[in-house]
Amino acid sequence: MRTLITGGAGFIGSHLCERFLERGHEVICVDNLITGSLSNIEHLRGHDRFTFLRHDVSHPLEIDGPLHNVLHFASPASPVDYLQYPIQTLKVGALGTHNTLGLAKAKNARFMLASTSEVYGDPEQHPQREDYWGHVNPIGPRSCYDEAKRFAEAVVMAYHRAHGVNTRIIRIFNTYGRRMRLDDGRVLPNFMGQALRGEPLTVYGDGSQTRSFCFVDDLVNGIEKLLDVEFHEPVNLGNPDEVTILQFAQEILALLGSKSRIEFKPLPQDDPKVRKPDITRARQLLGWEPLVPRSDGLRRTLDYFQQKVANS
């Protein structure tokens, strides 16, 4: 089996490269390294079934020989990144998805799109189910990411309906674990980095907004299961254990035994007030649900961030 993973040098993509090598696949990792890092895949580059290709999939991609799976995970995925690279984010969601679907069609390969809970925007339905259409500002600062993913889902379904491409769509909710970047602007690396450096923890708004955090190993298990099931509509993958941002900050401080204080700042525009996946579909379809409690996942992630802070 040959599996191509775009964004394969990123946080989630690098874990997928590992998993499919473990399954015995030949893995082609494609990344333009805007937000990915070679350090995430350095331990894989000597593997005889692993190939790294530096390429921007917003431009056409040709691969010699057969392909069995195309997993499209390339995209800036944190507000810091997609606000810095709005055009690239739109292009990889639109042109990148179109190009990789064309590759999957040509190779008669299974295709998987990494979509996001951000397609639900600042939701008026809680928890979020796959049949909810969302509440998204199409011209706000976050729209470059939200709308890129919404378009990506639309073109995936069009390729499935018009061309019979064997597609999958996952909507990924907040995921954490080793290989997150300290500076990626997401709440967990922000809090851990600030606490480890003895800095105040930045909480936006009053901290009452909620998130649901899924450990990366659980997410990869769900991705692997969905790829092997014939189902073409979106599937939420995330942990429904919901927590307020203020509670989460307090958990991080307790875990580290940190004396850092909490500092409140204004809430960014269009920041979702709540986020919790309804994973009924994943439970019924895949027999999947997250197994790693947040307390365990955070402890397993802490060692990685301690090393990153020490080396920064």
pLDDT tens digits, 79-108: 999 999 999 999 999 999 999 999 999 999
Specify the pLDDT at position 203. Answer: 95
249, two tokens: 């900050």
Q: Partners of 236 in the beta sheet?
A: 171
DSSP state of 129: P
Chain-centre distance for alpha carbon 228: 19
User: Which residue has better confidence, 201 or 183?
Assistant: 201
143-166 tens-digit pLDDT: 999 999 999 999 999 999 999 999
pTM: 0.96
109-132 tens-digit pLDDT: 999 999 999 999 999 999 999 999
Is pLDDT at 269 greater than 90 in this prediction?
A: no
The catalytic site residues sit at 145
The tally of domains found in the chain comes to 1
Would residue 266 count as lying in a domain? Answer: no
CATH number of the domain where residue 108 is located:
3.40.50.720
Would residue 38 count as lying in a domain? Answer: yes
137, two tokens: 């500002």
Q: Would you say 265 and 201 are in contact if contact means Cβ atoms under 8 Å apart?
A: no
Query: By three-state DSSP, how is residue 233 classified?
Result: coil
Helical axes 294-311 vs 245-256, angle rounded to 10°: 70
Q: Would you say 205 and 264 are in contact if contact means Cβ atoms under 8 Å apart?
A: yes
Would residue 267 count as lying in a domain? Answer: no
Query: By three-state DSSP, how is residue 186 classified?
Result: coil
Instruction: Assign 185 a pLDDT band (cuts: 50, 70, 90).
Output: confident
Would residue 35 count as lying in a domain? Answer: yes
Would residue 264 count as lying in a domain? Answer: no
Chain-centre distance for alpha carbon 121: 16
Is pLDDT at 312 greater than 80 in this prediction?
A: no
Would residue 272 count as lying in a domain? Answer: no
Q: Is the peptide bond before 127 cis (omega within 30 degrees of 0)?
A: yes
For residue 45, give its domain range: 2-178+214-239+277-291
Q: Would you say 217 and 178 are in contact if contact means Cβ atoms under 8 Å apart?
A: no
Backbone angles phi, psi at 76, to 5 degrees: -55, 140
Instruction: Assign 310 a pLDDT band (cuts: 50, 70, 90).
Output: confident
Query: By three-state DSSP, how is residue 2 classified?
Result: strand
Q: Would you say 276 and 120 are in contact if contact means Cβ atoms under 8 Å apart?
A: no
Would residue 171 count as lying in a domain? Answer: yes
Would residue 167 count as lying in a domain? Answer: yes
DSSP state of 267: P
Q: What percent of the chain has pLDDT over 90?
A: 95
DSSP codes of every residue in 54-121: E--TTS-----S--SEEEE--S--SHHHHHHSHHHHHHIIIIIHHHHHHHHHHHT-EEEEEEEGGGGB
